Structure 1
Amino acid sequence: MKLAASRYPLRVATACALFGAIAVAQASVTQVSQITASHTVQQLAAAIDAQIAAPRFASSRWGIDVISLDTGRTLYAHDAGKLLQTASTAKLYTAALVLDTLGTDYRIPTQLLVTQPIVQGRLEGSLILRGMGDPTLDTPGTNTDWADQLAAQLAASGVHEVQGDLIADDSYFSGPSAGSGWEARDLQSWFAPPASALSVQENTVNLMVEPSRVPGERARLKLDPADAFPRVINTLTTSAGNTRSDINLYRAPGDMTLYAFGHIAAQSQAQTYKLAMADPAQFAGTLLQEALARHGIRLKGALRVLHWPQQADIGLDRAVVLAQVLSPPVMDVLTRGLKRSQNLYLQNLLQIAGVKARASAGQVADPASGFLTTEAWGIRALDELLGRIGIPPEDSQIEDGAGLSRQDLATPAAMTHLLVYLARQPYGAQLRDTLPTAGVDGTLQWRMRNTAASNNVHAKTGSMNDVRCVAGYVTTASGERLAFAIMLNNVVREGDEPSPSRTLDAIMEQLAAFQGRG
């Protein structure tokens, strides 16, 4: 599983192009979209048909379903029963499972455990830092001082010395740290960090590359956090000022070493990249180790990390909790994950639901045959939920929590069925507000401003190469509440053609401006 050295810089260039597109959007938000409001369902259908029939979509696949939440009637459908790649709209499935399994108020703990007695302030055995899947640990506004909180609680319990090791344990999740179907070339990128039960700082690292003052000398690298990569091999050089930079970054999946090679032009601006952290549990353990020292707790042993599938009898069955920090409520965690389409959050939440499902199956003597990962347990629970709400297996095939897998498939009709179900739950209004809001926040912040859709459409976006999707809710100009799924696959943008997402926006604007009734 190797990533071609040149592929990562290309992906960075794509990200830069995305930020450029955002800048263009910011510059043009004062423009009012020229959408003609429809007054009948027939006019609405004709307007949408005209959008998707554009010649540039001749080789693409559209699937659309629009349902009234008020009457249950279908206002528009186009290949609504065809399976299509979902991209990140699959996160709606994870959200449904998490709310069904955990509820809205569950808080995810991160704990300090001991299995040996404390004698005169000395812990006779090891100290266990137990991660249980919190993806928000050490993020802005959420337990940024988590390590000091835990160390302070430990000191308050009378411990001033740990005779054994500090064990950073992320084995709460069983299975690989990459979700099923995730592509190897994505695994060093910020959007596909390892899904760890002991996650910290969203499992990402910022790397700044800047040229030296003299051509021929080694370029300078600065990591933030500084200790996130145990080993960096830097052969990046500084080239002449009139050359084009060629910065290459590579870390093999599962490897702790980051390689930086190529060259950066002298006197050029420093370049910043966001990368996936190599071993979040290791880094979390290092942060706690430093906090213990700050609070006067001496660690006589070493820091070691426990990953699945390593076998180590650390006595969790007899462990006592001495300290813990809690995540925000699950609904808040979902808001953070859905607004920004944060893959780590939804992949971790799926696995937390999987742990709960595995425990429930054990209680009723219904274990699965053979070993299942916590991700697979989560998907098994999701399939059961979909069966209960009437979505057949052939209409929805999801295999990870984030929607990063190209094997994630659903029909638009299944997506709207799910949205209708979610809207009817006691938390329906809260769930709607976790979604990006057109022209306001999240991945829709710069889209559909100054249109009828602005501050009206609440929808989950989904984008990957050749795929654009959106699914959510809108209220029409006549006050009718709609659930919709718009899915575009096999789309290729050429030359100066408008972004495919602009056509999805135009359809949502048509729905928002609709003056008739379904």
Structure 2
Amino acid sequence: MKLLRIQWPVLGGLLFSCALAQAQLPAKVAQSLQAAGIPADAISVAMIPLHETPAGQPAATKKTTSRQSQVYDHLADVPRNPASTMKLVTTWAGLHLLGPAWQWQTDLLSTAKPNNGVLATDLYLQGKGDPKLTQERMWLLVRDLKAAGVEDIQGDLVLDESYFKRSNTIAEYDDDGDTERAFMVEPHALMSNFRTQKITIDSTGARVSITAEPPLNPVRVSNQLAIASEGQCSAWARRVQQRPGQNGSEYLVQYVGEMPAGCKVERYVPVLNPRTYTAALFWSIWYQNGGKGSGRSVDGITPANAIKLATSKSPDMVSNIRDINKYSNNLMARQLYLTLGAELGQSQPTTDDAAATVIRNGLREAGFSWPELVLENGSGLSRKEQISARHLAQLLASAWRSPYAAEYISSLPLVGIDGTMKKRLSTPALAGMAHIKTGSLRDVRASAGYVKDRRGNQWALVAIVNHPEAAKALPALDALMQGLIEN
């Protein structure tokens, strides 16, 4: 096979001439990897110059799916686990297949109207996968229900979670055995408030106090914390144990250990299961607003003849993908992934299967053929998902030319300014010069997005490291981005 001779851009003052099949890494990148104990074959890099066009062809019509358009790479065709940079695929699909104005909707319905404030029949809470049905929005939904004339709910609250069809055999992702973290919450059609409570631990007084917000009737917090005689606030997490679990009819969260004096910290803790949490949140807010009712909750399906009493609509797709990409929100990405399957998928055993098919079909319609692509949940919180650096860079280049380019690009973190890149490349010369989505798993580090160099040229850049020492790869990834910015 004849190899096309190419050149890297000037990175760190060094210009390399290399073969397309495997370009030599820039010196600073190679040195950083070597210092971290990471071999060069553990990283894939792909760059696409967004400012260049074939002779006589305007930039707007340049194709990026061909091999010729991808001119700067290193092992770019090797399938890699992309970690959270897979969210770039899911949010691209959400933006381009559902549209920038798409909104999720959560409804309260009944088979009869209230009579003198009394709803004698059941009230149906129909969830459709809203990624961000927060406590505040639930309060507004309850307010609208009261505005519809309901003061007393004598029937049951019927929880309709039928929008997503999921297999009972789908295992939770387990990274090092700890599933009780907010970023590990599983998706659900009736998800609300990310299924978390904000726990505030305060040791500024004579005793340690703990508050939980929102208050949920099935959840009890057991405070067994003492004030330590010494210690720094920054080390509090190593001295406090959180022990959640079911205790009969209640969900008990115990806090055991010692808290350094003079500290006040917050953490978000997943509690209950999605349907129980949502029911508890609804009834808590309902009673806080003076409502009366049975307090009972059951599972069920909304009848076809049900009357809509109140509705909550989510922020639009653009707002949601911004939260997903800037802050790498796994739950929101997974809710979007399943929504693609529920809204656009054909009849398949699960919504997960339908979502993967919808995204593959969308990519195919956009001109992409990616045989190595593996989709599991669309968030990158997976040991199975994979994609090549070349294909992810091609997606970025395609999005750059799309009608929704501004919305997509602005959803990515600005280096040195916000999101997951806030503390990286933060010097005045580098901050704001790139929109970069990060990816991080136990053995994965990745950076993917758009870089503007000092000449004003724009690049799509993808770099993925898969290696047991990947956590040490950030200096190499930053050196790659910095070198391109300074090109």
Instruction: Using structure 1 for the length normalisation, give the TM-score.
Output: 0.77
Q: State the partner residue of 1:32.
A: none
Q: 1:48 aligns with which of 23, 26, 45?
A: 26
Matched-pair contact (CA < 8 Å) for 2:47–2:393: yes
Worse-superposed segment, 270-279 or 60-69? 270-279
Q: 2:240 aligns with which of 229, 239, 247?
A: 247
Call closer, same or farther: CA 1:69–1:147 in 2, change over 3 Å.
same
How does 1:118-197 map onto structure 2 within 5 Å? 118-138=114-134, 144=136, 146-175=137-166, 182-183=173-174, 185-197=177-189
Q: State the partner residue of 1:334.
A: 321
Q: 1:415 aligns with which of 380, 385, 392?
A: 392
Check if 1:347 corresponds to 2:341: no
Q: Shift in Å at residue 61 of structure 1?
A: 0.6
Q: State the partner residue of 2:276.
A: 282
Matched-pair contact (CA < 8 Å) for 2:217–2:284: no
Q: State the partner residue of 2:5.
A: none
Q: Shift in Å at residue 40 of structure 1?
A: 5.5
**In structure 2, the residue corresponding to 1:325 is in which secondary structure?**
strand
How does 1:466-481 map onto structure 2 within 5 Å? 466-481=443-458
Q: Shift in Å at residue 413 of structure 1?
A: 0.8
Q: Which amino acid aligns with 2:150?
A: V
Q: Which amino acid aligns with 1:163?
A: Q
Q: State the partner residue of 1:81.
A: 77
Q: State the partner residue of 2:412.
A: 435
Call closer, same or farther: CA 1:266–1:437 in 2, change over 3 Å.
closer
Q: State the partner residue of 2:215.
A: 226
Q: Which amino acid aligns with 1:64?
A: V
Check if 1:502 corresponds to 2:468: no
Q: Deviations over 1:481-502 (max 9, x none)?
A: 21111001114279xxxx5212
Check if 1:65 corresponds to 2:61: no
Q: Distance in 2 between matches of 1:405 and 1:114?
A: 39
**In structure 2, the residue corresponding to 1:323 is in which secondary structure?**
strand
Q: Distance in 2 between matches of 1:213 and 1:39?
A: 58
Q: State the partner residue of 1:113.
A: 109
Q: Distance in 1 between matches of 2:195 and 2:281?
A: 13
Check if 1:200 corresponds to 2:181: no
Q: Distance in 1 between matches of 2:126 and 2:302?
A: 12
Q: Which amino acid aligns with 1:442?
A: G
Q: Which amino acid aligns with 2:198?
A: N
State the superposition RMSD in angstroms: 3.4
Call closer, same or farther: CA 1:423–1:280 in 2, change over 3 Å.
same
Matched-pair contact (CA < 8 Å) for 1:239–1:264: yes
Q: Which amino acid aligns with 1:48?
A: P
Q: Shift in Å at residue 191 of structure 1?
A: 1.3
Q: State the partner residue of 2:100.
A: 104
Call closer, same or farther: CA 1:316–1:49 in 2, change over 3 Å.
farther
Worse-superposed segment, 241-250 or 459-468? 241-250
Q: Distance in 2 between matches of 1:384 and 1:99?
A: 15
Matched-pair contact (CA < 8 Å) for 1:81–1:395: no
Q: Which amino acid aligns with 1:88?
A: S
Q: Distance in 2 between matches of 1:473 and 1:253?
A: 46
Q: Shift in Å at residue 402 of structure 1?
A: 1.4
Check if 1:378 corresponds to 2:355: yes
How does 1:441-480 map onto structure 2 within 5 Å? 441-450=418-427, 452-480=429-457
Call closer, same or farther: CA 1:413–1:452 in 2, change over 3 Å.
farther
Q: Distance in 2 between matches of 1:36 and 1:147?
A: 51
Q: Which amino acid aligns with 2:477?
A: L
Q: Deviations over 1:439-470 (max 9, x none)?
A: 11111112112365421211110012221101
Q: Shift in Å at residue 324 of structure 1?
A: 0.8
Q: Distance in 2 between matches of 1:224 and 1:412?
A: 42
Call closer, same or farther: CA 1:281–1:298 in 2, change over 3 Å.
same
Call closer, same or farther: CA 1:349–1:111 in 2, change over 3 Å.
same
**In structure 1, the residue corresponding to 2:182 is in which secondary structure?**
coil
**In structure 2, the residue corresponding to 1:381 is in which secondary structure?**
helix
Call closer, same or farther: CA 1:116–1:190 in 2, change over 3 Å.
same
Q: Distance in 2 between matches of 1:121 and 1:493?
A: 60
Worse-superposed segment, 78-87 or 63-72? 63-72
Structure 2: stretches of 5+ with no match in the other structure? 1-9, 53-63
**In structure 2, the residue corresponding to 1:483 is in which secondary structure?**
strand
Q: Distance in 2 between matches of 1:408 and 1:503?
A: 23
Worse-superposed segment, 374-383 or 250-259? 250-259
**In structure 2, the residue corresponding to 1:434 is in which secondary structure?**
coil
**In structure 2, the residue corresponding to 1:316 is in which secondary structure?**
coil
Q: Distance in 2 between matches of 1:339 and 1:253?
A: 34
Q: Distance in 1 between matches of 2:447 and 2:27?
A: 17
Q: Which amino acid aligns with 1:194?
A: E
Call closer, same or farther: CA 1:178–1:296 in 2, change over 3 Å.
farther
Q: Shift in Å at residue 220 of structure 1?
A: 5.3
**In structure 2, the residue corresponding to 1:328 is in which secondary structure?**
coil
Worse-superposed segment, 445-454 or 433-442? 445-454
Q: Distance in 2 between matches of 1:228 and 1:302?
A: 11
Worse-superposed segment, 191-200 or 329-338? 191-200
Matched-pair contact (CA < 8 Å) for 1:191–1:343: yes
Matched-pair contact (CA < 8 Å) for 1:101–1:356: no
Q: Shift in Å at residue 476 of structure 1?
A: 2.2
Q: Deviations over 1:168-188 (max 9, x none)?
A: 433422226997661173421
Structure 1: stretches of 5+ with no match in the other structure? 1-34, 307-311, 362-366
Q: 2:372 aligns with which of 374, 387, 395?
A: 395
Q: Distance in 2 between matches of 1:149 and 1:259?
A: 28
Call closer, same or farther: CA 1:191–1:477 in 2, change over 3 Å.
same
Q: Distance in 2 between matches of 1:79 and 1:58?
A: 15
Q: State the partner residue of 1:257.
A: 251
Matched-pair contact (CA < 8 Å) for 2:46–2:73: yes
Call closer, same or farther: CA 1:210–1:411 in 2, change over 3 Å.
same
